[in-house]
Amino acid sequence: MKPINNKKLTILSILVVVVGSMMILLNSCTASQKISMKSGAQLWAENCQRCHNTPSPSTFSPEQWETIGMHMQSRALLTDTERDKIVDFLKSAN
Amino acid sequence: MQTLNKLTKRILAICLFALIATVTKAQETTTVVDSSLLNRVSTLEQQASYIKPRESHLMAVGLLTFGYVSNKTTVTYNGTSSVSKSNSLGDADHFEFSPMFLWRHGKKFLMEFEPSFSADGVGVNWAVASYYATPGLILRGGYLVLPFGTYNKRLAAGWINKLASDPEGIADASDFGVEAEGGIQAGTTKWSYDFALSNGMQLQPDGTTQFIGITDNNKNKLFTGRIGFLPLANSSIEVGASLMTGNVGDANLKINSATATLWALDLNVVENITPFQLNIKGQYSEAKVGNATYTDPNDPTHDYTFDNHTKTGYIMAALRPAFSQNDVVKNFELAARYGNYTTPANSLWGTKDNSLAVGLNYWMNWRTVVRFSYEAIKGTSTVSQNLGGNPGEITKSNSAYIQFCIEL
């Protein structure tokens, strides 16, 4: 293993500082809520935008949302509670 | 008085008759409507039951990425430059048409198949069966996109990407194997894991690695794994670390003991700062292949070696007034990406590249986009002179893209 060079160290530490301070900043303004306390609509709004634009519930039928829920659970590595709440919301707002 | 009584009796009798007639009539009509309605309902029920999917559900989706690219490349060595220009409708590097099929059986099994037509011909992006074993554990098997970093598995699709081109140096990593993955809640934070074992890569005589397909060339399997951490309760930040390691030597060739070790760090930030949505995505990775002796393709009697170490990273930011009141303004998005790609010096493909890409996207809906991107890449060759290279040669490539991406 080669010693980590200075440039890399600088980039890494900048990254750590930026991410760290962002976390603290954002944490202080978002009320920390457990998944079990959140609604399906809130979980949908928070999670689906992590990778792509948030799909509207009217895009698919309830039956299709069930399939997509399983598919996206695998992509986004959602917990089962998150998946079930989001799918229930998408099906009811559909 | 008597006449009045008679009259009252008659009126009463008429009223009674009218009442009975109406009730009887009403009953008749009700009965008639009821039975015809019941018949129709039961026919509908039969029809619905005939086509009701029960446990088995099939759905098809798909995507298209189509565009135009115009490129100008200037190569400068020892003070002399040569310029070449090209353009392509369809954008040969990024054209893709991929239907995707999802079969679900109940809530435990899901099969995914994505064939793809691109400039390379017809291929398969992935073909996987997943079993939702217990909460927090999904078991998968088939032809997988390996969980190394986040770009390949999550962000590469045209309709998801923010710029027309891919960052340099992120190799496709799909392989035959098995995978275990899941998400776990820990207080207000979340963790995720994604581990795979697959046939692995093979070291080529020139020092590059290649996935080898369904028959393994050695007894070792390739391990690929990623751990993700979402520190905030609103899931707006994710950091991940990945590792890929395995023997890449061929049991029958002279390079039989080489091991490849790759690691990656990734970052994903999506913040809604009304009226804007800010996206920051990045990935940094290094790949190291153990020492081996390679053969010069220009002179097979000549062996050579080099430090087979590759580094690549990108950081991308995009800003969209997604929550603007204006229906046109809210669909525009600005994006920029900086990339760095260093391949092994003294190898046949040694280069140090820097790239900068900027773009403007117009989102027609959540999964349809028209984008204009521009990318400038500057590369400095590090190919050794012994191998016929021109170390120090500078290649500047400028590309302008118009791209249309849709997912349906």
Residue carrying the six token digits 């009798």: B13
Q: Domain check: are B148 and B44 in the same one? A: no
Q: Domain check: are B212 and B321 in the same one? A: yes
Contact residues for B57 (Cβ-Cβ < 8 A; gap 6+) = A63, A64, A66, A67, B103, B104, B105
Residue B191 burial by CB count (10 A; 0-12/13-18/19+): exposed, middle or buried?
middle
**Count of Cβ atoms closer than 10 Å to residue B225 Cβ:** 20
Structure-block tokens of residue B366: 């959540």
Q: Which residue, B280, B286, B391, B390, is CA-closest to B340?
A: B286
pLDDT category at A13 given cuts 50, 70, 90 is low
Q: Domain check: are B317 and B220 in the same one? A: yes
Tell me how far apart the alpha carbons of residues B123 and B96 are, in angstroms, rounded to a whole number.
Answer: 11
Query: How many residue pairs bridge chain A and chain B with CB atoms within 8 Å of each other?
Result: 109
CB pair distance less than 8 Å for A77 and B182: yes
pLDDT at residue B4 in the model: 56
What residue of A is the nearest CA neighbor of B227?
Answer: A77
Q: Domain check: are B107 and B190 in the same one? A: yes
Q: Domain check: are B341 and B224 in the same one? A: yes
CB pair distance less than 8 Å for A19 and B267: yes
- Please give the distance of CA B340 from its chain centroid, rounded to a whole number: 22
In angstroms, what separates the C-alpha of A91 from chain B's closest C-alpha?
A: 15
pLDDT at residue B260 in the model: 93
In angstroms, what separates the C-alpha of B251 from chain A's closest C-alpha?
A: 26
Q: Domain check: are B139 and B246 in the same one? A: yes
Give the amino acid at B29: T
Q: Domain check: are B115 and B207 in the same one? A: yes
B140 touches chain A (CB under 8 A): yes
In angstroms, what separates the C-alpha of B72 from chain A's closest C-alpha?
A: 31
Q: Which residue, B202, B159, B227, is CA-closest to B289?
A: B202
Q: Domain check: are B177 and B40 in the same one? A: no
Nearest by CB: B185 against A23, A35, A51: A35
Q: Domain check: are B39 and B64 in the same one? A: no
CB pair distance less than 8 Å for B154 and A46: no
Summarize pLDDT for A49-88 with one digit per residue, the tens: 999 999 999 999 999 999 999 999 999 999 999 999 999 9
Residue B384 burial by CB count (10 A; 0-12/13-18/19+): exposed, middle or buried?
middle
CB B186 within 8 A of CB A34: no
Q: What mean pLDDT is reported for chain A?
A: 83
DSSP code of residue B387: G
B288 phi and psi angles, rounded to 5 deg: -130, 125
Residue carrying the six token digits 């900086």: B338
Q: Domain of B180: which CATH number?
A: 2.40.160.10
Query: Which of the residues in chain B have pLDDT under 50?
Result: none
pLDDT category at A3 given cuts 50, 70, 90 is very low
CB B235 within 8 A of CB A46: yes
A10/B169: higher pLDDT: B169
The domain containing residue B382 runs over which residues? 52-407
Structure-block tokens of residue B33: 């409507």
pTM comes to 0.87
Residues 13-52 in B contacting A (C-alpha not used; CB under 8 Å): none
Q: Domain check: are B248 and B306 in the same one? A: yes
Q: Domain check: are B20 and B145 in the same one? A: no
Helix residue spans in chain A (DSSP H): 6-29, 40-47, 62-76, 80-92
Q: Domain check: are B144 and B209 in the same one? A: yes
Tell me how far apart the alpha carbons of residues B331 and B408 are, in angstroms, rounded to a whole number.
Answer: 18
Structure-block tokens of residue B112: 């995914």
pLDDT at residue B339 in the model: 98
Nearest by CB: B130 against A53, A59, A74: A74
The count of residues in chain B is: 408
Q: What is the DSSP string of B220-233?
A: --EEEEEEEEE-ST
pLDDT at residue A79 in the model: 96
Q: Sign of dihedral through CA atoms A25, A28, A30, A33?
A: positive
- Please give the distance of CA A55 from its chain centroid, rounded to a whole number: 14
CB B195 within 8 A of CB B181: yes
pLDDT at residue A2 in the model: 43
b vs e for B332-341, b when ≥16 Cβ sit within 10 Å of the residue's Cβ? bbebbbebbb
pLDDT at residue A35 in the model: 84
Tell me how far apart the alpha carbons of residues B255 and B305 are, in angstroms, rounded to a whole number.
Answer: 12
Q: Sign of dihedral through CA atoms B138, B144, B145, B147?
A: positive
ipTM: 0.87
pLDDT at residue B19 in the model: 65
CB B212 within 8 A of CB B245: no
A19 touches chain B (CB under 8 A): yes
pLDDT at residue B144 in the model: 97
Identify all chain A residues contacting B192, using CB atoms and an 8 Å cutoff: 77
Tell me how far apart the alpha carbons of residues A4 and A16 are, in angstroms, rounded to a whole number.
Answer: 16
pLDDT at residue B2 in the model: 56
B309 phi and psi angles, rounded to 5 deg: -130, 120
Total structural domains within chain B: 2
CB pair distance less than 8 Å for A79 and B181: no
CB pair distance less than 8 Å for A31 and B160: no
Identify all chain B residues contacting A55, using CB atoms and an 8 Å cutoff: 366-367
Residue B175 burial by CB count (10 A; 0-12/13-18/19+): exposed, middle or buried?
buried
b vs e for B84-116, b when ≥16 Cβ sit within 10 Å of the residue's Cβ? eeeeeeebebbbbebebebebeebeebebbbbb
